[in-house]
Structure formats: C-alpha cells, structure tokens
C-alpha cells in the first residue's frame, strides 16, 4: 500500500509515517502541500491522508488539485470539531474524516477499510493470482518468492490490469531513487519472468508493461 501524507505538524506527520511503514506500507510524507504538488504523481497512491489547517494552502484546496488526476480515497485529518468542516470535507469528496487527537491504530483501521474493501486476491491466469493487500503472488495457491521490488512492480500492474503502465510511472513507483535507467527496469522484468511458469507480463514497445487478464 502506498500512502501520500500531507501534514504541517512534523511530529504528527513523522509519527504517522513511522507507524505505517513499520506495518509494511510505503509513505511519502510532506509538511508542505506546495512542495508535494511539485514532486508527486497523484495517481501513484492508494490513499491520501491530508491535514486541513495548513499555512500554505488548506487541505481542501490541496485535495482539489489532486482529484483531477486520481480517484484514490482521501481521509482528512483535523483538529476542527465543528459540523461545518465535516460537511465541507464530505461535500468535496472525502471518503472519511478523523479528528485530532486520535490513536494511530484507529487511523490504520480506517485506511484499510477504504483501500482493501474489495477482494484482496486478484486472479491473473487460471493458475496465478496476486494478493493486493499482502503483495503476494500465488501459483496454484502456493506462494512464489518475490523481492520487495518485484512485489511493487506486480502491484502497480495488477492495479492497472489490462492497461499499459508506462515505464516512467513504474520506475517512480517501484524505486525510491529518482534516476533509474530503463536497463534496470528491463533487468528487473527479466528476473521476474524467470520465476514464472507462464509469461503474463507483456512488454508494449515504446510504452511500458501490462498484465493481460485471461477471461
């Protein structure tokens, strides 16, 4: 699961980031919403966690910029307790709203409810399936051993099944480094294919990769 967190209180932000990363998620944390808009790819995230009261721009304004590029759910985080702010959050498309102070476990439960409310295991072929929650690949119900990068690579393809994911999007999603060359991606794909008994990863020349789900 990949999370975008925007929270100007760095103590709260770092606490949320540390908690979710200890539980296996990838969290991109920004204390500045303007910097986040300059650097992120909104369609790379499974969910957004956004503080409302921030000095550069409020959370509503920030989310209005994001939702033109992504349909991922948003949970607003705020110290506001009045109904007017709750109403405004839901009116602009919030999936949920949590008031400070809160337990991190409660936030985790709300996130999982939104991200994993669909079937966790996605069937790719008659024999292969991918657990989108646990990032595990199965062949005839036996787990295939994968590296972390292979898991993230399959995750983004499965989430976009039957559609081409361009190479730049894949590189930005899978690797933390900003300067990954195409050869590194090709090597990654080759090693993964060598583990598979059937090749369901398709290379679309000049574009990227896709998984074609067999009907």
Computed over its alpha carbons, how large is the radius of gyration of the chain? 18
- pLDDT category, 132, cuts 50, 70, 90? confident
Q: What is the mean pLDDT of residues 140-160?
A: 91
Q: What is the pLDDT of residue 175?
A: 86
Q: What is the mean pLDDT of residues 142-160?
A: 92
pLDDT above 70 coverage of the chain, percent: 96
* Cβ neighbours of residue 154 closer than 8 Å, sequence gap 6 or more: 130, 135, 137, 146, 192, 211
Topology adopted by domain 121-211: Arc Repressor Mutant, subunit A (1.10.10)
The HSE-up count of residue 15 (CA atoms within 13 Å, CB side) is: 12
pLDDT reading at 118 higher than 80: no
Q: What is the mean pLDDT of residues 140-157?
A: 92
Task: Quote the tokens at residue 89.
Answer: 């959050």
Q: CATH 3.40.50.2300 residue ranges in the chain? A: 2-115
- pLDDT category, 152, cuts 50, 70, 90? very high
Q: Which residue has the higher pLDDT, 23 or 190?
A: 190
Q: CATH 1.10.10.10 residue ranges in the chain? A: 121-211
CA distances from 44 to 58, 130, 138, 148, 156 (A): 22, 19, 24, 17, 8
Strand 208-211 with 165-166, pairing: antiparallel
* Cβ neighbours of residue 200 closer than 8 Å, sequence gap 6 or more: 124, 125, 128, 211, 212, 214
Task: Quote the tokens at residue 83.
Answer: 């109904």
Q: What is the pLDDT of residue 161?
A: 83
Give Cα 151 to chain centroid, integer Å: 13
Residue 61 has φ and ψ, to the nearest 5°, of -65, -40
Residue indicated by tokens 């349909």: 71
Superfamily of domain 2-115: Response regulator (3.40.50.2300)
Q: What is the mean pLDDT of residues 5-16?
A: 96
Q: What is the pLDDT of residue 214?
A: 61
Q: What is the pLDDT of residue 69?
A: 80
Q: Residues 157-206: pLDDT tens digits?
A: 988 888 888 898 898 888 876 678 889 999 999 999 999 999 999 999 88
CA angle 211, 207, 63 (to 5 degrees): 80
Q: Residues 38-84: pLDDT tens digits?
A: 888 877 788 999 999 998 899 999 999 888 788 789 999 998 888 89
Q: Which residue has the higher pLDDT, 81 or 31?
A: 31
- pLDDT category, 213, cuts 50, 70, 90? confident
- 214 CB neighbour count, 10 Å cutoff: 11
Report H helices in 100-147.
104-115
Q: Are the beta carbons of 209 and 201 closer than 8 angstroms?
A: yes
């Amino acid at each position: 699961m990949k999370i975008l967190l925007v929270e100007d209180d760095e103590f709260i932000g770092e606490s949320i980031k540390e908690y979710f990363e200890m539980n296996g998620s990838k969290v991109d944390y920004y204390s500045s919403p303007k910097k986040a808009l300059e650097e992120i790819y909104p369609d790379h995230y499974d969910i957004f966690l956004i503080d409302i009261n921030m000095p550069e721009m409020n959370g509503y304004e920030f989310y209005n910029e994001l939702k033109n590029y992504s349909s991922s759910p948003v949970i607003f985080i705020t110290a506001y307790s009045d109904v007017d702010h709750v109403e405004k959050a839901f009116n602009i498309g919030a999936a949920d709203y949590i008031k400070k102070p809160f337990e991190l476990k409660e936030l985790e439960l709300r996130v999982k409810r939104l991200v994993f409310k669909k079937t966790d295991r996605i069937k790719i072929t008659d024999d292969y399936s991918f657990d989108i929650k646990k990032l595990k690949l199965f062949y005839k119900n036996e787990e295939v051993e994968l590296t972390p990068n292979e898991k993230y690579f399959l995750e983004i393809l499965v989430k976009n099944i039957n559609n081409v994911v361009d190479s730049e999007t894949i590189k930005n999603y899978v690797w933390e480094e900003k300067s990954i060359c195409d050869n590194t991606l090709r090597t990654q794909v080759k090693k993964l294919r060598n583990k598979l008994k059937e090749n369901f990863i398709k290379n679309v020349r000049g574009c990227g990769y896709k998984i074609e789900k067999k009907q």
